[in-house]
Amino acid sequence: MVKNIRKDLLLILIFCTTFIFLFDYWFINLGEIFKGANIFGNIFYKICLAYITAYIFYFLNVYIKSQQDLNEVNYFIGRQVSKILGDNVSILIEFCNLGYVDKTDIYPSEIELEAIMKTIKIKDAVYRNTRDYNKTTWPRYFDFYRLRTQKNIGLILSRSNYLDSRLVSIISELEDSQFFMHLEYKNLWEESDDNLSFMASSLFKYFEVLQKLNTYYYEKLFSYLKYSVTDKKVEKIKLA
């Protein structure tokens, strides 16, 4: 509960509490060290007592409420981040289903990813068990998750007052990624018969940013999420 409290305020509280204890049980029995020391001591005693009273009021009426708000916001942000990570795990699952990668807990290396993208034609369909996906091409499949990611980024940024600079930097890298840029202009190339090798480098860099986001998620947000179906899908993913 007190992990985010200001250390300077806490140190002043400890000092005031210590002074009051010493004043009541030791200083009061000593003679005046200098003229007016007793008056000065009583004034400082009252100041310390007032500070302790103010601190208790702040802790009960301000700090606890702000921590509750922060916990709720971090839960909300954590949910959106977990959705971003979970959606991109789905891409790895599709690579795995088609035999492009052996497992979904490690992103492909840049060389492996280039080899994968060379085997995928722009007009190739993403084969899934669900009938609606049978004719979905890989560019449109990627774009579907781009739009979902951008939606979740927007929800995260709606709580901008609570975001630290590290998270803002990471999601800005996602939003400004070259991979997203390729997909935003897919109408210029999606009718081509070429393969997707030209996107391999941008997708790899995008995966690198996701690794940063994944690390941040487990360091800063995961503890705020008590239960989530999406979170169970998100694993600690490492780049190969």
| 220 pLDDT more than 70 | yes
Predicted pLDDT of residue 135: 73
In order of 90, 125, 201, 229, the CA distances from 131 in angstroms are 17, 12, 31, 24
In a domain, 2, yes or no: no
Over residues 62-106, the pLDDT tens digits come to 888 877 888 888 899 999 999 999 988 888 888 877 666 666 567
Query: Is the backbone of residue 238 left (phi > 0), alpha (psi -120 to 50) or beta?
Result: beta
**Is residue 193 over pLDDT 80?**
no
Q: What is the pLDDT of residue 231?
A: 45
Percent of the chain with pLDDT over 70: 80
Residue 178 belongs to domain spanning? 70-239
Task: Note whether residue 189 is domain-resident.
Answer: yes
State the pLDDT at residue 239. 44
- 58 and 85 assigned to the same domain: no
Asked if residue 198 is part of any domain, the answer here is yes
146 in the same domain as 112: yes
| DSSP annotation of 192 | S
Amino acid present at 7: K
Same domain, 90 and 108: yes
Q: Same structural domain for residues 156 and 233?
A: yes
In angstroms, what CA-CA distances link 128 with 48, 75, 91, 93?
69, 32, 12, 10
- CA–CA gap between residue 12 and residue 175 (Å, rounded): 44
- Cβ atoms of residues 68 and 212 within 8 Å: no
Considering the domain boundaries, does residue 1 fall inside one?
no
* pLDDT tens digits for range 10-53: 888 898 888 888 887 776 666 666 666 677 778 888 898 999 99
**Is 114 among the domain residues?**
yes
Neighbours of 160 (CB within 10 A): 8
Alpha-carbon distance of 174 to 178, in angstroms, equals 9
Residue 112 in contact with residue 166, Cβ under 8 Å?
A: no
Banded model confidence at residue 213, pLDDT cuts 50, 70, 90:
very high
What integer best gives the mean pLDDT of the chain? 81
The predicted pLDDT at position 229 comes to 39
Q: How many alpha carbons fall within 13 Å on the CB side of residue 112?
A: 15
Same domain, 93 and 180: yes
Number of C-beta neighbours around residue 92 at 10 A = 19
Q: Does 34 lie in the same domain as 128?
A: no
Say if residue 26 is in the same domain as residue 96.
Answer: no
Asked which of 62, 78, 98 is the last residue of a domain, the reply is 62
Residues 118 and 159 in one domain: yes
Q: What is the pTM of this model?
A: 0.70
Instruction: Give 138-192 pLDDT, tens digit per residue.
Output: 888 899 999 999 999 999 999 888 889 999 999 999 999 999 998 988 877 877 7
- 26 & 112 share domain: no
User: Is-contact 167 80, C-beta < 8 A?
Assistant: no
> Do 173 and 82 sit in the same domain of this protein?
yes
User: Has residue 20 been placed in a domain?
Assistant: yes
Q: How many domains does the chain have?
A: 2
On whether both 54 and 88 belong to a single domain, the answer is no
Domain boundary among 18, 38, 62: 62
**Are 74 and 90 a contacting pair, CB within 8 Å?**
no
Same domain, 32 and 52: yes
202 lies in some domain: yes
In a domain, 143, yes or no: yes
User: Of 41, 62, 83, which closes a domain?
Assistant: 62
